[in-house]
Amino acid sequence: MNLSLWRLRAGDRCEILGYDDVLPENYRTRMMEFGFHPGEVVACVQSVAFGAPKVYRVSNTIFSLDEEVADHIHVRLVAADA
């Protein structure tokens, strides 16, 4: 199922499919520099209450992204052991 990175709940894992065109080029560049490449597996580590930015793990680094960015990253859910 395809959805945005923001829709993930804590414990979900996904593969990045690509970026929304709404997200400006400079944002996309910076995200890829951080390791959010298409094809990369990202885990949602924590979904903080009250709509606060969510916590994601990519490779061995933990990042926090807010809706403004995460909602424009297209992903597909993958099995927990993928």
Partner 1 sequence: MPKIILIGSPNSGKSLLFNRLTGLHHKVANFPGITVDVGTGKMRDLADTTLVDFPGTYSLQAISAEEKVAVEYFHKALQDPEVEQVLCLIDATRLEKSLYFTLQVIRDCERQQKPVTVLANMIDVLDHHGLSLDVEELSAALQTPVIGVSARTGKGTREILRQIEAVREAVPQPPRAHLLDAPDMLLRGSAHQLARRYGPKGDILVRTQTRLDSFFLHSVTGGFAFFAIMYLLFQSIFTWSAPAMDAVELGLGTLADLVVPLIGGQVAKDFTADALFGGIGAFLVFVPQIFVLTFVIGLLEDSGYMARAALICHKPLRLFGLTGKSFIPMLSGVACAIPGIYAARAIDSPRKRLLTYMAIPLMPCSARLPVYTLLIAAFIPSGTALGGLVGWQGLAMFCIYFFGMFCGLLVTGLISRTSKDHYTDLPFVLELPPYRVPGLGPLLRNAWNRSKHFVTKAGKIIFAVTMVIWVLGYFPNYGTDLGTSWLGYLGRIVEPLFAPLGLDWRYAVAILTSFLAREVFVGTLGTIFGIEAADENMTPLVQQIQASDLAIGSGLALLVFFAIALQCVSTVAILSKESGSGTLALKMFVGYLLLAYAAALAIYHLAALLT
Site of interaction with partner 1 (CB under 8 A): 24, 26-27, 29-35, 37, 40, 45-46, 48-53, 55, 57-66, 68-69
What DSSP line would sit under the chain, residue for residue? -EEEGGG--TT-EEEEEEE-TTS-HHHHHHHHHTT--TT-EEEEEE--STTPPEEEEETTEEEEE-HHHHTTEEEEEE-TT-
Residue closer to partner 1 by CB (options 1, 25) is 25
Residue closer to partner 1 by CB (options 1, 26) is 26
Residue closer to partner 1 by CB (options 1, 50) is 50
